[in-house]
Amino acid sequence: MSPVLAGVLQMLALIAALALAYRPLGDFMAGVYSSDKHLRVEKWIYKAIGANPSTEMRWPAYLRGVLAFSAASVLFLYVMQRIQGSLPGSLGFSAIDPDQAFNTAASFVSNTNWQSYYGEQAMGHVVQTGGLAVQNFVSAAVGLAVAVALVRGFARSRTGELGNFWADLVRGTVRILIPIAVIGAIVLVACGAIQNFSGIHGVGQFMGGSQQWNGGAVASQEAIKELGTNGGGYFNANSAHPFENPNGISNLFEIFLILVIPFALTRTFGKMVGSVKQGYAILATMVTIWIGFTALMMWTEFHHGGPAFNIAGGAMEGKETRFGVGGSSIFAVATTLTSTGAVNSFHSSFTGFGGGITMLGMQLGEIAPGGVGSGLYGMLIMAIIAVFIAGLMVGRTPEYLGKKIGTREIKFAACYILITPALALCFTAAAMALPTPMTSMTNSGAHGFSEILYAYTSGANNNGSAFAGLNADTQWFNTTIGLAMLLGRFLPMVFVLALAGSLAEQKPVPATAGTLGTHKPLFTGLLVGTIIIVTGLTYFPALALGPLAEGLGS
């Protein structure tokens, strides 16, 4: 069997597995967020928090909950890293410097998992397992909560109430993320991922002497790292490290974990707004982009343009033998079309166009299918923009799911789609204009520019992957990427929740003959077009200077 055919078959297997999980998981999640029952363990947690889970919150209260919890998380994670040297069980690793500790705290709380540190030499068991892995759960649960709040905004009328943040946070963690992560972690150990608490120890070698390894709770972190679309590796090589991703099965399974919740959330959305067809239209948009990007990626990576790859006879630099070009291409697209940023192969050594595809995937706003929660709300914002554009064409007040898209709503949506590009492009421009940031580049020319563009695109979009030649452990990059991650996560959430509040207050408008059918293929086509045009207009000049220049030159 040719590697291309094997790659295609792996993609088909992945589609089949995701299709099987779609309905049960989507319906289950809709049930979780609609139920008025509380599990016993949840009641204990609410008691500890001191919150009444049945209190309905309007959008400002919901937002304050998100911000209070996230601020507490940033502070906790920062302090934890700063006192690492005195924590027991830290393998004797010392405290993390202030700028890097800020960067890492911002990174994990914002669901980005950008890493300017080397996992195996910087972070001990306590910080990895008790700090970073915890954020892998709760930052994903926060994303889910905000998405559900927006869906309730569409589903509810004549009320400003969006649910209870604490209840949504706890339910997402306890009922959705933990059970799937437990199964996921066990599957990964069965494949060969490690799970122990042994410290750094020497292991004998074939030629004599020994190699020193770091033990750790790797499988448990790996499962939630993918499931929560986080992406922060236990080891520096991330999911390319054999202890994180031991074979072809674990590789396909990790990609499945990345995609399963974001895709199934479209079903949850459909259920909650009372029309699963609306969910299918959103799903179809996501799937179209995802399959298109994967096909393009496979084409360019198997084609292996670029002087070094031509000499080598294949684009295997930065790729593992057990995954090959096919398994690496599928992973790279899944990780950049979601907010994951885990890597099983190094994007900086992809072909010029391949690197461009990973960047473009993030620049679409990570909505196909996007991060856990953030993918759905990002896509719904684009749907509002698409409905608005369609409304302009026929001269009607646009409406979506029975809600009028008026001035207020479109302003919130427009602010949402402007924030991330503004952060990514302004910081990139600043870094290029200043003399010192550029000394961090490993590559020169177009690819050097790409390293910096990638870094801020990844930070502002909360992805976390990198063109990792860039030495990002400098005060400049730690601080600016840290800011890009926090602003790129929480400012959009402000607009999403404000929009949700505004929608929930409206009374529904009945559908008429002139209403655009947002559950039909026509709308899916319109939405795909809108996404590509909006992103293209925003990022084309920057992409032309980086990956396009490199790709066309090879």
Site for another protein in 42-71 (CB under 8 A): 45, 48-51, 64-65, 68-71
- DSSP per position, 76-108: HHHHHHHTGGGSTTSTT--PPPHHHHHHHHHHH
The CA distance from 356 to 208, in Å, is 44
Determine, following the binding rule CB under 8 A, whether residue 469 of this chain makes contact with another protein: yes
The CA distance from 483 to 502, in Å, is 28
Determine, following the binding rule CB under 8 A, whether residue 88 of this chain makes contact with another protein: no
Determine, following the binding rule CB under 8 A, whether residue 2 of this chain makes contact with another protein: no
**CB 260 → another protein: shortest distance, Å?**
18
Residue with Cβ nearer another protein (329 or 530): 329
- The stretch among 156-164, 371-379, 442-450, 517-525 that binds another protein (CB under 8 A) is 442-450
Determine, following the binding rule CB under 8 A, whether residue 225 of this chain makes contact with another protein: no
Determine, following the binding rule CB under 8 A, whether residue 166 of this chain makes contact with another protein: yes
Q: Which of 87, 167, 181, 381 forms a contact with another protein (CB under 8 A)?
A: 181
Token pair 């529904």 in the structure block, residue: 508
Binding mask 116-135 for another protein (x = CB under 8 A): --x-xxx------xxx-xx-
- The stretch among 266-274, 337-345, 457-465, 490-498 that binds another protein (CB under 8 A) is 337-345
Determine, following the binding rule CB under 8 A, whether residue 99 of this chain makes contact with another protein: no
Binding mask 227-256 for another protein (x = CB under 8 A): --------xxx--xxxx--xxxx-xx----
Residue with Cβ nearer another protein (272 or 343): 343
The burial of 220, by beta-carbon neighbours within 10 Å (0-12 exposed, 13-18 middle, 19 or more buried), is given as buried
Q: By CB under 8 A, what part of segment 133-162 binds another protein?
A: 133-134, 136-138
Q: By CB under 8 A, what part of segment 309-328 binds another protein?
A: 309, 311-324, 326-327
Determine, following the binding rule CB under 8 A, whether residue 103 of this chain makes contact with another protein: no
Determine, following the binding rule CB under 8 A, whether residue 173 of this chain makes contact with another protein: yes
Q: Which of 227, 337, 382, 468 forms a contact with another protein (CB under 8 A)?
A: 468
Crossing angle of helices 521-543 and 374-394, in 10° steps, is 100
Amino acid at 406: G
Binding mask 368-407 for another protein (x = CB under 8 A): ----------------------------------------
- Helix, strand, coil shares, percent, the chain, to 5: 70, 5, 30
Q: By CB under 8 A, what part of segment 288-307 binds another protein?
A: 304-307
Tally DSSP H helices, then E strands, for the chain.
21, 4
Determine, following the binding rule CB under 8 A, whether residue 550 of this chain makes contact with another protein: yes
Q: Which of 35, 55, 94, 436 forms a contact with another protein (CB under 8 A)?
A: 94
Q: Considering CB under 8 A, how many residues would be counted as binding another protein?
A: 128
Q: Which of 53, 231, 270, 355 forms a contact with another protein (CB under 8 A)?
A: 355
Angle 550-553-554 (CA atoms, 0-180°, nearest 5)? Answer: 90
The CA distance from 54 to 307, in Å, is 62
- The stretch among 154-162, 190-198, 407-415, 490-498 that binds another protein (CB under 8 A) is 190-198
Residue with Cβ nearer another protein (75 or 522): 75
Determine, following the binding rule CB under 8 A, whether residue 270 of this chain makes contact with another protein: no
Q: Which of 83, 186, 410, 548 forms a contact with another protein (CB under 8 A)?
A: 186
Q: How many CA atoms lie within 13 A of 416 on its CB side?
A: 27
Angle 256-261-265 (CA atoms, 0-180°, nearest 5)? Answer: 140
User: Structure tokens of 11?
Assistant: 């993609």
- The stretch among 4-12, 382-390, 398-406, 413-421 that binds another protein (CB under 8 A) is 4-12
**CB 121 → another protein: shortest distance, Å?**
4
The burial of 143, by beta-carbon neighbours within 10 Å (0-12 exposed, 13-18 middle, 19 or more buried), is given as buried
Amino acid at 341: G
Q: Which of 17, 200, 389, 491 forms a contact with another protein (CB under 8 A)?
A: 200
**CB 391 → another protein: shortest distance, Å?**
39
**CB 527 → another protein: shortest distance, Å?**
33
**CB 550 → another protein: shortest distance, Å?**
7
- The stretch among 267-275, 361-369, 409-417, 546-554 that binds another protein (CB under 8 A) is 546-554
Long-range CB pairs of 50-53 (<8 Å, 24+ gap) are 51/164, 51/166, 52/164, 53/164, 53/166, 53/167, 53/170
- DSSP per position, 120-154: HHH--HIIIIIIIHHHHHHHHHHHHHHHHHHHHHH
**CB 181 → another protein: shortest distance, Å?**
7
The CA distance from 422 to 491, in Å, is 12
Determine, following the binding rule CB under 8 A, whether residue 525 of this chain makes contact with another protein: no
Q: How many CA atoms lie within 13 A of 59 on its CB side?
A: 23
H/E segment holding residue 298: helix 276-303
**CB 132 → another protein: shortest distance, Å?**
9
The CA distance from 484 to 65, in Å, is 21
- DSSP per position, 384-443: HHHHHHHHHHHT---EETTEE--HHHHHHHHHHHHHHHHHHHHHHHHHHHSTTGGGG-SS
Residue with Cβ nearer another protein (244 or 505): 244
The CA distance from 34 to 121, in Å, is 44
Go through the chain and tell me how many residues it has: 554
The CA distance from 294 to 120, in Å, is 31
Cβ 27 vs Cβ 265: under 8 Å: no
Determine, following the binding rule CB under 8 A, whether residue 170 of this chain makes contact with another protein: yes
- The stretch among 89-97, 254-262, 266-274, 510-518 that binds another protein (CB under 8 A) is 89-97
Determine, following the binding rule CB under 8 A, whether residue 3 of this chain makes contact with another protein: yes
**CB 139 → another protein: shortest distance, Å?**
11
Q: Which of 34, 157, 195, 288 forms a contact with another protein (CB under 8 A)?
A: 195
